[in-house]
Amino acid sequence: MTEAEVDERIRALIEPFNKKGVTITNDTTFANDLEFDSLTVMDFVAEIEDEFDIIISMNQQAEIETYGQLVTAVHKLQGS
């Protein structure tokens, strides 16, 4: 799966969580722009893990601050 395909699937998954209707770019932050709290992050990560059949470790989650970083991380996990 290409990074563009991963991006497209994640964009579909993030819609229900994007309560403020923020325009999603690679620089969009989960904490500041989308105002995700810890519960929302856990729910969103669970959706991604189910969709892509991957595991995102707590250490990886802590390092991912922007949408672009998430797409890159999921794409890399897909290949491993």
Q: Give, rounded to a whole angstrom, the gap between the first and last alpha carbons of the chain.
A: 12
Residue 12 C-alpha from the chain's centroid: 11
3-state SS, residue 18 = coil
> Among 2-6, 32-36, 75-79, which is the least confidently predicted range?
75-79
- The residue range of the domain holding 59 is 3-79
Which amino acid is present at 6? Answer: V
pLDDT class of 80 with cuts at 50, 70, 90:
low
Q: What is the value of pTM for the model shown?
A: 0.93
Number of domains in the chain: 1
Name the CA dihedral angle for 33, 41, 56, 30, rounded to a multiple of 10 degrees.
0
Determine the Cα–Cα distance for residues 80 and 76; give it in Å rounded to an integer.
7
**How far lies 32's CA from each of 12, 35, 67, 75, in Å?**
20, 5, 12, 24
pLDDT tens digits, one per residue of 13-71: 999 999 999 999 999 999 999 999 999 999 999 999 999 999 999 999 999 999 999 99
CATH number of residue 63's parent domain: 1.10.1200.10
